[in-house]
Amino acid sequence: MLKALIFDLDGVLVNSMPYHVEAMKVAFDNIGERINKQDIYEHEGSRTVDIVRDLLIKANKNPESYNLEDIIYQYKQEFNKISRLEPFRGLKDVLYTLKNKYHLCVVSGAEESIVLDILEKLYPDVFDIIITAKDVEDGKPNPEPYLKAIEKLGVEKDECIVFENAVLGVESAKRAGLYCVAIPTYIDRNKLEKADIIVDGHDMLKQYLLNRK
């Protein structure tokens, strides 16, 4: 019996990744390092600290030579300055309807302050459980974030559905043994083929959710 719906944040609930990408690029520009924006999209779903570390390694730099906390601080400052976020059209109303029947949860690799701010502004009083980067030792694609969500929700694995839009997020959900619905918001559909099903766009996502009523 289905009891819980678990959502990634960026790209599933909110069209926010372009702002994350631009903010990360500015943070790297500030330390004199150029990065490819597409590399950030490929890391979507990971914890911010893991993204920063991996981008430095890809640039043939030693992460230990940099103040990672300072880079993350600059990224957060820039994100808060430039972001103009809105929920995907109609999704908030759908979730308010489903809240009466299911536990709703967010699992994001983003910083806690950013996640809580977005949810407070765009999805107030919708989600029962919120998992962010600070709640886990290993972020996506490790299964820990979704296993933590299951633990907090107090449900069995076969009583949940995960909604993801990132390659690493889908991998995390499947490694946790969960059913995963994917939506190709920012990447090619074929990169999400490990998901159980793929819905093409947020209109189809809303219809899928409404069919759970």
Tokens of 66: 């940099």
Q: Is 177 left (phi over 0), alpha (psi -120 to 50) or beta?
A: left
SS (H, E, C) 48-114: HHHHHHHHHHHCCCCHHHCCHHHHHHHHHHHHHHHCCCCECCCHHHHHHHHCCCCEEEEECCCCHHH
Q: Which of 41-45, 66-70, 146-150 has the lowest mean pLDDT?
A: 41-45
Angle at 173 between CA 211 and CA 68, to 5 degrees: 125
| Alpha-carbon span 153 to 161, nearest angstrom | 12
Summarised one tens digit per residue, pLDDT across range 134-161 is 999 999 999 999 999 999 999 999 999 9
Distance CA 20, CA 10 (A): 9
Is residue 53 over pLDDT 90? yes
Per residue in 161-193, pLDDT tens?
999 999 999 999 999 999 999 999 999 999 999
Q: How far is CA 135 from CA 12, 24, 110, 146, in A?
A: 20, 22, 11, 11
Q: Which amino acid is at 152?
A: K
Per DSSP, 1 falls in state -
Q: Take residue 147 and report the two structure tokens written for it.
A: 């296993």
Domains of the chain: 4-15+85-210 (3.40.50.1000), 17-82 (1.10.150.240)
Q: Is the overall model pTM greater than 0.85, yes or no?
A: yes
What average pLDDT does range 19-44 have in this prediction?
A: 92
